[in-house]
């Protein structure tokens, strides 16, 4: 399948490193000029469409999956916006608000030497990164493409720390993002802040859909207990499995693009059916 992309180079805001943005429109987009489409904003744009740019030379296959699933009538077609990462990926994607709560401040104090080393390597600018998406990228997409204005049709998705920043986006901008897809979410990166932060800040059920998953191989093998704790919070917040919340486990699946490609159909069907 030949994938045609719209390219927006060197998008930036404030002190963030510039990054390229890639937009894919689904089959039929050009033929029906009246139809509007859901939009999925995805992190790690290099890994989505072109195997020559992908970290592992394997893409998520999201364009192929949407084309196939929508062609069979299983989902509504959607626009995909791939936002490239930068050398500051860890600093861009690690949520910062959780470390402002008491548990987070205690954690930082206890791990001061390690935190200082990280701060020498990365700028922790997740809030500014989300501003880039909401205040710069999304207006471009809404102006240049026929994007749906419905809350449920604005979805954000990523893997590992990209899963963290996707949920963080929904928490900080619940009026913008109706869905968050969090694959192989790197929950341990939040340390002891995870459950108190989500208990306090995760929106209650009613307006959003959230998808989680993880494998049981390599790095993903340690995510299970954290995901169970998050699932408990989802229940407490009133989310209903299979309706507005889905958690899936992929036995044996590792932490890489091939694994996410193998199960990308699950969040796509959950959000776009």
- Report the C-alpha gap between 94 and 19 in whole angstroms: 17
What pairs with residue 41 in β-bridges? 81, 156
One of 3.40.50.1820, 3.30.1460.30, 3.40.50.300, 2.30.29.30 is the CATH number of 6-272, namely 3.40.50.1820
Rg (CA), the chain: 18
User: What DSSP state is assigned to residue 23?
Assistant: E
User: What is the biggest distance separating any 2 CA atoms in the chain, rounded to whole angstroms?
Assistant: 59
- Report the C-alpha gap between 217 and 31 in whole angstroms: 43
> For residues 253, 255, 259 and 261, what is the CA-based torsion angle, rounded to 10 degrees?
160
Pinpoint the alpha helices (H) of 100-220.
102-110, 112-121, 126-131, 138-144, 161-172, 194-201
Identify the burial level of 98 via C-beta atoms within 10 angstroms of its C-beta, where 0-12 means exposed, 13-18 middle and 19 or more buried: buried
Q: How far from 155 is each of 33, 67, 72, 81, 193, CA to CA, in Å?
A: 22, 18, 22, 10, 25
pLDDT (0 to 100) of residue 267: 98
pLDDT (0 to 100) of residue 2: 75
pLDDT (0 to 100) of residue 172: 98
pLDDT (0 to 100) of residue 3: 87
Mean pLDDT by 10 residues, the chain (273 residues): 91 96 96 94 97 93 98 98 98 97 93 90 97 98 98 98 98 98 98 97 98 97 98 98 98 97 98 97
Where do the structural domains in the chain lie, given as residue ranges? 6-272
Chain centroid, CA 88 distance in Å = 17
The shares of helix, strand and coil residues in the chain, as percent rounded to the nearest 5, are: 45, 20, 35
pLDDT (0 to 100) of residue 32: 85
- Report the C-alpha gap between 30 and 134 in whole angstroms: 26
Evaluate whether 84 touches 91 at the Cβ level (below 8 Å). Answer: no
pLDDT (0 to 100) of residue 33: 87
């Amino acid at each position: 399948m030949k994938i045609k992309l719209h390219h927006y180079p060197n998008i930036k805001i404030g002190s963030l490193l510039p990054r390229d943005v890639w937009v894919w429109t689904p089959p039929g987009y050009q033929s029906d000029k009246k139809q509007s489409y859901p939009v999925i904003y995805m992190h790690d744009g290099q890994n989505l469409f072109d195997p020559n740019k992908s970290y592992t030379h394997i893409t998520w296959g999201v364009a192929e999956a949407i084309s196939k699933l929508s062609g069979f009538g299983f989902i509504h077609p959607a626009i995909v916006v791939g936002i490239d990462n930068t050398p500051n990926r860890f600093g861009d994607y690690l949520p910062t608000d959780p470390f402002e709560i008491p548990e987070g401040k205690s954690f930082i104090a206890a791990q001061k030497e390690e935190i200082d080393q990280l701060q020498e390597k990365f700028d922790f600018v997740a809030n500014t990164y989300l501003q880039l998406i909401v205040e710069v990228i999304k207006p471009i997409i809404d102006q240049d493409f026929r994007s749906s204005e419905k809350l449920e049709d604005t979805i954000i998705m990523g893997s590992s720390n990209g899963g963290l920043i996707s949920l963080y986006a929904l928490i900080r901008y619940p009026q913008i993002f109706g869905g968050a897809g969090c694959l192989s979410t790197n929950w341990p990166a939040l340390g002891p802040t995870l459950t108190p932060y989500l208990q306090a800040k995760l929106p209650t059920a009613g307006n959003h859909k959230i998808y989680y998953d993880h494998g049981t191989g390599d790095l993903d093998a340690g995510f299970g207990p954290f995901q169970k704790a998050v699932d408990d919070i989802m229940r407490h917040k009133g989310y209903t499995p299979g309706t507005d919340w889905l958690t899936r486990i992929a036995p044996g699946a590792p932490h890489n693009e091939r694994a996410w490609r193998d199960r990308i159909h699950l969040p796509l069907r959950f959000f776009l059916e």
